Amino acid sequence: MIRVSDRNIQSTYLNILAKSKSDLATIQKQLVSQSKINKPSDAPLGTSRVMRMSGQIESFNVFEKNIDSGLAYIDNSSSALEGIKDEIQKVLKDLTDANNATVSDNLPQYSDKIKASLNSILDLANTSFDGQFLFGGSDNSTTPVGFNSTGQLVEFKSNRIDADHKIKISNYTEQKININSKEVFASVLKNTGNLDSTSAIGNTQTVTSSIYNSEGTEYSFVVTYTKTAANNYTMNYSILDPSNAVVTSGSNALTYNNITGALQSIDGNLPNDIKISDETNKINLVFDTQSLMEKNSPATVNSNLSQKADIFNVLKSISDTLNTGKIPEKEHIQLVSDFEKHLINKISELGSYRNRLTDTQDLNKSQSVTLQELVSKEKDVDVAQLAIELQEKQYSLDLTYKISSTLLPKSLLDYL
């Protein structure tokens, strides 16, 4: 038979009491904080999960904000392009009216109308939203387009009219949200393909392409790539008028990356488009050689012209022609119609960007809700269950007090 001392009864009672109180305190703390995890040691694995999932939820919140900003950006861009489309349709109507004008003296009035449309289109092309030029690429400090110093030719002013504005909309997805001036407005001659990295120094590669001035007149663009050292070339270009006279020319030094073969620099600077303007011949061309690579294979250089002329100078020259009392040529007017089609394509492209954003937004929301549910499972308390447990523990504690009050002081002494 085990001998039981009085001190033993007391310490056993105190141990049970302490355990009951500790359990009660834990439940009370969870109920008050509404959280099962108040410190990492409450659930080490749960804490890691909660921290990781909270980080992901926070990322989804940021993606949500990014998508909202992106949608606003796209909506503003769409509005501006729709505005330009309206102006272009107005111009086409005016040109039809001008073509039917009975008295040539009225033509300068049409010239003024078209000039007004041009100014509206210029304003819309220079629209800014939240401090950013919608069509300015990545250059927010310079107005994208404007007249040159003589006021006779519209030029692209931005440093990077070709830049895409991409934002992150989910963990692994980036989405372009802008249409830049190069895509929508400019006449871009693009060289693609490759130069031969194994060719000897002094070797040349010449490509001739057709370009057009703002009246639709065809010119020749001749570019020659001459290898000057390993991965280095001199690029000489010249524009020849229909009589093969050189109207403008230029030269640039190209350096290619010896590993990737991508263009590394133009004249020592980061690769960029080369803007070529000739006021006399009404030429405003963007020459893009950034996609031309250097490879260990025979040289193949292809040329592609995005649109014959930029809409601003086309409208300017149409207005000038009307002002002189002449009706523009059909080819000249066709340039405006071509631009309208191009513009509609770009507007629908923006629509597809918008759809991608909203689709991703829905997906993000559903993933975020799932994560929140998981965090809740890890962290949040079941109030009803805890309330019952609390009641049980409280009852057990009361019982311990009650029993102790009757049993603790008892000994033979009480009966003597």
Q: How far is the CB of 284 from another protein (least distance, A)?
A: 21
* Alpha carbon distance 148, 150 (integer Å): 6
Q: H/E/C letters for each residue in 87-108?
A: HHHHHHHHHHHHHCCCCHHHHH
Which of 21, 29, 65, 341 is the binder for another protein (CB under 8 A)?
Answer: 65
Classify the C-alpha dihedral 191-192-197-203 as positive or negative. Answer: negative
* Alpha carbon distance 87, 93 (integer Å): 10
Which of 34, 48, 249, 258 is the binder for another protein (CB under 8 A)?
Answer: 48
Residues 71-110 within binding reach of another protein (CB under 8 A) = 73
| 412 sits near another protein (criterion: CB under 8 A) | yes
CA 397 to chain centre: 63
- Residue (47 or 152) nearer to another protein, CB: 47
Part of the chain binding another protein (CB under 8 A), chosen from 42-50, 119-127, 147-155, 234-242: 42-50
Instruction: Give CA angle at 91 (88, 97), nearest 5°.
Output: 150
Residues 169-208 within binding reach of another protein (CB under 8 A) = 171, 174
Contact letters (x/-) for another protein, 372-391, by CB under 8 A? -------x------------
Which of 13, 23, 31, 69 is the binder for another protein (CB under 8 A)?
Answer: 69
| 407 sits near another protein (criterion: CB under 8 A) | no
| 222 sits near another protein (criterion: CB under 8 A) | no
> Letter for the amino acid at 400?
T
| 4 sits near another protein (criterion: CB under 8 A) | yes
Query: Are the beta carbons of 231 and 201 closer than 8 angstroms?
Result: no
Query: Are the beta carbons of 181 and 156 closer than 8 angstroms?
Result: yes
Rg (CA), the chain: 38
Alpha-helical (H) ranges within 158-221 are 181-184
| 1 sits near another protein (criterion: CB under 8 A) | no
Which of 7, 102, 103, 105 is the binder for another protein (CB under 8 A)?
Answer: 7
- Residue (63 or 219) nearer to another protein, CB: 63
Q: Which residues, in sequence order, are bridge partners of residue 275? A: 286
Q: Which long-range contacts (CB under 8 A, 24 or more apart) does 342-349 make?
A: 342/184, 342/307, 343/81, 343/84, 343/85, 343/88, 343/184, 344/85, 346/81, 346/179, 346/183, 346/184, 347/78, 347/81, 347/82, 347/85, 349/179
Residues 131-160 within binding reach of another protein (CB under 8 A) = 131-133, 136-141, 159-160
Which of 270, 369, 388, 403 is the binder for another protein (CB under 8 A)?
Answer: 270
**How many residues make contact with another protein (CB under 8 A)?**
59
Which of 34, 148, 376, 411 is the binder for another protein (CB under 8 A)?
Answer: 411
| 255 sits near another protein (criterion: CB under 8 A) | no
Q: What are phi and psi of 336, to 5 degrees?
A: -70, -45
| 167 sits near another protein (criterion: CB under 8 A) | yes
* Alpha carbon distance 26, 19 (integer Å): 11
Residues forming contacts to another protein in the complex (CB under 8 A) are 2-8, 10-12, 15, 37, 39-41, 44-45, 47-48, 50-52, 54-55, 58-59, 61-63, 65-66, 69-70, 73, 130-133, 136-141, 159-160, 163, 165-168, 171, 174, 270, 379, 411-413, 416
